[in-house]
Amino acid sequence: MQRTGNVLRVHFADRKGTFLAPLIVLGIVVIVIGLIGAVATATGTDREALWEGMQYNGAVWALLGMGIGIGFATMGQHLSFALGMGITRREWVIGSGLMFVIMAASITAIVVIGKIIELATSGWGMGVRMFDTVHTGTGPWWQTAIQTFLIALAGMCFCAMIGSVWNRWGKTGLSWLGGVALILLVLVFGIGIIAPWEQVLRLLETLMGFGWGVWMSVLAGSTVVSAIVWAILTRRAEVR
């Protein structure tokens, strides 16, 4: 337990950078959204139309995207430092996994609190929104909580997994990973181009028709797979 605490100490030693940075990012985004709302109000834009349109506002990704940085830094910067301090890879994965959960929960708390305020004030009094959007869910708060938590956690686990490929096989590993991703993309787009449009549209409709629960299960499954692959690769990862 104390050794897991050591890993958390590595991650949270820079408290300002860890916890203040998301709040600064959030502050900047809120200011920008506020300015948009002020301009919209000043120019007499229809508030309902603005509210409707802003459900696609992707500003919340400024917060969610932090998971990407956290995942990469965990393997790219912190691992070498931690191993030098005598922490084992197993301890590193357990402690960092716990850190991912704490950070995803923190991001979730910000988004959910933001959403509750946003809904209570009818879009910050200006009809604008950034938390109650399709990206983190426009359903009840608990759906937003689950969706946000899973997106943030998936980002961290996936990027830590890519980082572990780098630690394990260096540039060669990343090249292989890029190659596989490229082949998959070509296959998907190739099928999209070759197959009759009706079939492609029907497939998209079927995919879009899946309920929220199915999509969340897919997201949760991807997160678990990423986390497992990350843990396995890290067991033999070397410092670069």
Which residues of this protein are in contact with other proteins, per CB under 8 A?
3, 5-6, 9-10, 13-14, 16-17, 73, 77-78, 80-81, 83-91, 235-236, 238-239
**Least spacing, CB of residue 83 vs other proteins, in Å:** 5
Closer to other proteins by Cβ: residue 82 or 128: 82
Closer to other proteins by Cβ: residue 10 or 60: 10
Cβ proximity of 152 and 101 under 8 Å: no
**Least spacing, CB of residue 153 vs other proteins, in Å:** 21
Neighbours of 151 (CB within 10 A): 26
DSSP-assigned letter for residue 18: I
* Residue with tokens 């991912």, as numbered in its chain: 100
**Least spacing, CB of residue 236 vs other proteins, in Å:** 7
**Least spacing, CB of residue 189 vs other proteins, in Å:** 36
Closer to other proteins by Cβ: residue 11 or 115: 11
**Least spacing, CB of residue 228 vs other proteins, in Å:** 18
Closer to other proteins by Cβ: residue 148 or 167: 167
13 phi and psi angles, rounded to 5 deg: -60, -40
Nearest to 25 by CA among 77, 72, 68: 68
235: tokens are 């067991």
Cβ proximity of 55 and 49 under 8 Å: no
Closer to other proteins by Cβ: residue 17 or 213: 17
Cβ proximity of 75 and 161 under 8 Å: no
**Least spacing, CB of residue 21 vs other proteins, in Å:** 8
Closer to other proteins by Cβ: residue 79 or 154: 79
Residues 6+ away with beta carbon under 8 Å from 67? 100, 103, 104, 107, 151, 152, 153, 154, 155, 156, 159
Closer to other proteins by Cβ: residue 17 or 192: 17
Neighbours of 29 (CB within 10 A): 18
**Least spacing, CB of residue 173 vs other proteins, in Å:** 14
Cβ proximity of 26 and 62 under 8 Å: yes
